[in-house]
């Protein structure tokens, strides 16, 4: 996903809600980079994400496959690990993930939470209090 020039990599098991959260982020103004398959490449101190062929296709379970606004690639600014609610801490330590040798902030959240898109966007734009 790409939101105002910042890339978000959504990760989770099959059925964790990646596409559902992606659809909600699209409704908030984000652009799709890839659905399901994402290629990562290091360029300098950034990790770039792109989809195969830049198709702009996303599956909405129960509705079918749709073509949406898409970006060819995005510099990953945030990794979001989709995690069941019962495995989340109320006040977790700030997390990070190292991808291709680059450390990137990482957020764990429940994709089904009503405010999940807002949490992703907040993590992209706001500084976390110590």
* Domains annotated on the chain, with CATH: 2-124 (3.40.50.300)
In a 10 Å sphere around its CB, with 0-12 CB exposed, 13-18 middle and 19+ buried, how is residue 75 labelled? middle
CB 47 within 8 A of CB 40: yes
2 three-class SS:
strand
Cα radius of gyration rounded to whole Å, the chain: 14
In a 10 Å sphere around its CB, with 0-12 CB exposed, 13-18 middle and 19+ buried, how is residue 94 labelled? exposed
In order along its 130 residues, the chain shows pLDDT tens digits of: 999 999 999 998 888 888 889 999 999 999 999 877 899 999 999 999 998 776 788 888 888 888 888 899 999 999 998 887 677 677 667 788 999 999 999 988 988 888 899 999 988 887 665 5
């Amino acid at each position: 996903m790409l939101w105002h020039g910042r890339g978000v990599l959504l990760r989770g098991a099959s059925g964790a809600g990646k596409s559902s959260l992606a659809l909600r982020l699209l409704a908030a103004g984000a652009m799709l980079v890839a659905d399901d398959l994402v290629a990562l490449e290091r360029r300098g101190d950034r990790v770039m994400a792109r989809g195969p062929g830049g198709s702009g296709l996303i599956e909405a379970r129960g509705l079918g496959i749709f073509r949406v606004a898409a970006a060819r690639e995005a510099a990953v600014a945030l990794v979001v690990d989709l995690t069941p609610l019962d495995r989340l801490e109320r006040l977790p330590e700030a997390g990070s993930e190292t991808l291709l040798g680059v450390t990137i902030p990482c957020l764990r959240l429940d994709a089904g939470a009503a405010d999940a898109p807002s949490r992703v966007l907040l993590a992209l734009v706001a500084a976390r209090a110590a």
